[in-house]
C-alpha cells in the first residue's frame, strides 16, 4: 500500500508539471525557454539545499564517462522538449503523447533487459499504444499539431531513458540533484540561443519555480525511490494514468475541453494499464 500511495503521489506530481507549464505559457507570463531554465535552476538549488541539510555532498555521485552523462542529457531533452511542445499542445493531450513515448521507450528497455513479461502486459501495452495512435492519427481538426507532437515525443524518449537510468541509483536524492545541476547549462544555453519573445513576469517565474522545486525536483527524487521496486514494464504503463490527471487539471485551471477523440484515447490507455497490472499472466 505504501508503494502504491507513493506511486500515485508521483503521478500527480508529473501531471501537475503539465498543468503548471501550460498555465504559464497560456497566460503569456513566460516563454518556453525561460520556463525550462528556471525550472531546472530552481530544482537544482532546492536539491542542493536538501543534500546540504542532510550533511552530504555530490562528489561521490558525479558522472564518469559517457554512461554517467545519460541522466543529465536525457533530463535536459525531456524538460526542453516538454516546455516547447506546450506552446501548442493542451495539457492532457501533451501528457498523453509524452507518456505514450515513455511507455514505448521503457517497454523496449524491459524487452532488451529480458524482463519477465506476462501475456497480459503485452496486451495491455498494445491496447494503450492503440489509444495513442488514435489520438495522433492525422485526421480531423482535433488532431494535435505535428511540431508539438514531435517535440513531446522527444521529451517522452528522454524521460523514458531517464527513468530506465534511474533504476540504478543507489541514492535517489543525490542522483536527482546531480542530474539537475548538470542539466542547468542546457537550459541556460536554450535561453541564450533561442530567446523567448515574451519577458519573464513574476507570475511566470513563480510557476516555473513551483514546477522546478515541488513537482520536478522532489517528484523526481521520489520517482527514483519508487523505481527500483517496480518492474520496468509496470513503471511504464503506470505513467499512462498521468494524462487523465493532467486533463482534469487542464479543465479545472485552464478551461480546456474534453474532446471525443481524447476521451476514446484515454479509455484505451487506461484499459491497457488495467490489463497490464493484472496479477495473472503467462510469459511470452
Q: What's the pLDDT band for 66 if we cut at 50, 70, 90? A: low
Closest by CA to 163, choosing from 68, 232, 237, 242, is 232
Q: What is the pLDDT of residue 284?
A: 42
Higher pLDDT, 265 or 283: 265
- pTM higher than 0.75, yes or no? yes
216: cell is 520536478
Give the Cα-Cα-Cα angle 227, 165, 272 (nearest 5 degrees): 55
Q: What's the pLDDT band for 204 if we cut at 50, 70, 90? A: very high
Q: What is the pLDDT of residue 145?
A: 85
267: cell is 479509455
- Looking up cell 541522466 gives 71
Q: What is the pLDDT of residue 283?
A: 42
Answer yes or no: are the C-beta atoms of 152 and 18 closer than 8 Å. Answer: no
Q: Backbone dihedral region of 181: left (phi > 0), alpha (psi from -120 to 50 degrees) or beta? A: alpha
**Burial class for 74, CB neighbours closer than 10 Å (0-12, 13-18, 19+):** buried
Domain ranges of the chain: 2-276
Phi/psi of residue 141, nearest 5 degrees: -70, -20
pLDDT at residue 192 is higher than 80: yes
Q: Which residues contact 37 (CB under 8 A, 6 or more apart)?
A: 184, 187, 188, 190, 191
- Looking up cell 505513467 gives 239
Answer yes or no: are the C-beta atoms of 170 and 107 closer than 8 Å. Answer: no
Q: What's the pLDDT band for 190 if we cut at 50, 70, 90? A: very high
Q: Percent of the chain scored above 90 by pLDDT?
A: 40
Give the Cα-Cα-Cα angle 192, 98, 46 (nearest 5 degrees): 55
Helix 146-166, helix 91-112: angle, nearest 10: 40
pLDDT at residue 128 is higher than 60: yes
DSSP 195: -
* Cα dihedral value 218, 220, 226, 227, nearest 10: -170
Q: What is the pLDDT of residue 60?
A: 55
pLDDT at residue 280 is higher than 80: no
Q: What's the pLDDT band for 247 if we cut at 50, 70, 90? A: confident
Higher pLDDT, 152 or 110: 152
Q: What is the pLDDT of residue 141?
A: 54
- Looking up cell 484505451 gives 268
> What is the per-residue pLDDT across 212-237, written as a single tens digit (0 to 9) for each?
999 999 999 999 889 888 887 777 76
CB atoms within 10 A of CB 140: 9
* Cα dihedral value 142, 12, 24, 22, nearest 10: -10
Amino acid at each position: 500500500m505504501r508503494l502504491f500511495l507513493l506511486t500515485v503521489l508521483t503521478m500527480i506530481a508529473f501531471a501537475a508539471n503539465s498543468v503548471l507549464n501550460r498555465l504559464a505559457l497560456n497566460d503569456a507570463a513566460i516563454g518556453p525557454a525561460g520556463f525550462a531554465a528556471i525550472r531546472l535552476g530552481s530544482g537544482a538549488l532546492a536539491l542542493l539545499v536538501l543534500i546540504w541539510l542532510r550533511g552530504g555532498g555530490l562528489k561521490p555521485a558525479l558522472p564518469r564517462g559517457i554512461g554517467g552523462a545519460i541522466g543529465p542529457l536525457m533530463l535536459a531533452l525531456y524538460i526542453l522538449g516538454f516546455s516547447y511542445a506546450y506552446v501548442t499542445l493542451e495539457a492532457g493531450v501533451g501528457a498523453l503523447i509524452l507518456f505514450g513515448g515513455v511507455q514505448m521507450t521503457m517497454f523496449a528497455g524491459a524487452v532488451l533487459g529480458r524482463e519477465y513479461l506476462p501475456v497480459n502486459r503485452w496486451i495491455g501495452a498494445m491496447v494503450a499504444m492503440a489509444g495513442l495512435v488514435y489520438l495522433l492519427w492525422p485526421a480531423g481538426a482535433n488532431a494535435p499539431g505535428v511540431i508539438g507532437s514531435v517535440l513531446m515525443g522527444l521529451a517522452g524518449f528522454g524521460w523514458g531513458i531517464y527513468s530506465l537510468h534511474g533504476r540504478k541509483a543507489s541514492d535517489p536524492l543525490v542522483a536527482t540533484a546531480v542530474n539537475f545541476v548538470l542539466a542547468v547549462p542546457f537550459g541556460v544555453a536554450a535561453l541564450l540561443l533561442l530567446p523567448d519573445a515574451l519577458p519573464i513576469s513574476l507570475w511566470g517565474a513563480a510557476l516555473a519555480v513551483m514546477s522546478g522545486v515541488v513537482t520536478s525536483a522532489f517528484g523526481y527524487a521520489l520517482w527514483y525511490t519508487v523505481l527500483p521496486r517496480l518492474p520496468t514494464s509496470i513503471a511504464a504503463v503506470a505513467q499512462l494514468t498521468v494524462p487523465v490527471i493532467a486533463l482534469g487539471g487542464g479543465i479545472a485551471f485552464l478551461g480546456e475541453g474534453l474532446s471525443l477523440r481524447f476521451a476514446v484515447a484515454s479509455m484505451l490507455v487506461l484499459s491497457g494499464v488495467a490489463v497490464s497490472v493484472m496479477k495473472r499472466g503467462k510469459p511470452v
